[in-house]
Amino acid sequence: MDLRAVPTASLTDASFWGDADRHVIRYSPSFTPVIVERAQGSTLYTSDGRELLDFTSGQMSAILGHSHPAIVATLREAAATLDHLFSGMLSRPVVELSRRLAESLPEPLEKVLLLSTGAESNEAALRMAKLVTGKYEVVSFSRSWHGMTLGAAGATYSAARPGYGPPPPGNFAIPTPDAYRPDVIGIDGELDCQRQLDLGFAMVDAQSCGSLAACIVEPVLSSAGVVVPPPGYLAALRRKCDERGMLLIFDEAQTGIGRTGDWYGFQHDGVVPDILTLSKTLGAGLPLAAVITSAEIEARAYERGFLFFTTHASDPLVASVGNTVLDVLEQEDLVAQVRVKGERLQAGLLGLQEQHAVVGDVRGRGLLQGLELVLDRATKVSSPDLGVAITQRCLDLGLHMNVVQLREMGGTFRIAPALTATFEEIDRGVRLLGEAIGDVAPAFV
């Protein structure tokens, strides 16, 4: 089977794709049919001489754009001086980044474990929660994504589960608080998030054996289609956890480190988790993740023999990169800029909604926005093929996009430009997206 999603004239390097077909494991349905030779800022440069505007920051990670000079300089210096150590050794970059993360967070979050990926940090957070509570059951959203390792995958429901054998016991899903596609409706016809949350936990309580350890959620659900919980929802969720002696874990792989216009996504709601996980944005495209919790929880975990000893725990090279990421964010005041750029981006997307009937909803926060496609606004029925076709047309026009396809909903574009993207790049991305929708949509409606 050809690895390329759609054959295009740009695929001139037959040997590359031949080797890929023969030797690369297909870890997703398809690969984007371009060969990227280099990247700079928000631009990807392909083997056939084309330029693509990266509207997803790589894998939602490269918040400083590609090949940022400060990151490049740090990598050169760190690789030449201190790149990797025995995991039981600590280095100055690791301790410095731990201190700076703690200082950026509200009390009581002050103890840090540095790891590599989002799945790994969520795995560690769940192990810690189970150990310190002495319980094992985990609650997450019905359209969640927390990673592909065993515990994280057990708390993930937006990915297909059949075929991999039984997940870890004790995983429960509660309804996703999607205001655009509400499943529990109040007298005003809108989502009644409190009734939905009450129902969700009533079902959890009915199935639980009394061993509820943790609830893990994203403050904005990215893989669910950039779903923003209604005001007050996270505070109500916090109360549900406290009533049951559960720890609340916020997975801020995509919402942390400035992406939403605050340093951390949870700050918008004023709800502090027991454990915070960071990844993607923390390394600005490099494999760096963190688990952050209180001194009390860390002490209890340590007393009970907490073990998460991995090959790349506390690696100094990526910790140096993390420190540089924080330097750049502070020196360039990027978090404040995200609020303004996010307003510009959302305004442009709302303009597309006015122009194109297939744009059913626009939602998000800061530079993490979602645009949901529908065939009919009244019924909200959609076609998976519509999102795929628009994605391909965007690529033809010079724009790289990411569309989420889930069973419960239609296609939603996850739009996450780099925090360093210019207003011109944001406007150009919106214009190209609008052009692609205009070219493709008439064939579907």
Q: Would you please indicate which residues are annotated as catalytic (active-site) residues?
A: 145, 218, 251, 254, 280, 414
Residue that is written with structure tokens 């990247």 in the block: 39
CA 58 to chain centre: 11
Give the chain's length: 445
DSSP secondary-structure letter at 242? H
Angle, in degrees to the nearest 10, between helices 384-397 and 423-440 = 130
Look at strands 247-251 and 212-217 and give their pairing: parallel
How is 355-373 classified by DSSP, letter by letter?
A: H-TTEEEEEEETTEEEEEE
Q: Are strands 368-373 and 247-251 parallel, antiparallel or unpaired?
A: unpaired
Phi, psi of 213 (to 5 degrees): -100, -45
HSE-CB for 217 with a 13 A CA cutoff: 32
Contacts of 373 (CB under 8 A, 6+ apart): 358, 359, 360, 382, 386, 387, 390, 403, 410, 411, 412, 413
Rounded to whole angstroms, how far apart are CA atoms 178 and 158? 14
CA angle 64, 65, 66 (to 5 degrees): 125
Q: How many CA atoms lie within 13 A of 212 on its CB side?
A: 24
Rounded Cα distance between 301 and 295, Å, is: 10
Q: How far is CA 164 from CA 29, 144, 157, in A?
A: 17, 18, 13
Which is nearest to 58 in space by CA: 218, 262, 281? 281
Burial group, residue 202, by CB count within 10 angstroms (0-12, 13-18, 19+): exposed
Q: Can you tell me whether residue 10 is helix, strand or coil?
A: coil
**Token pair of 377 as six digits:** 């606004």
CB atoms within 10 A of CB 236: 18
* Token output for 155: 């708390």
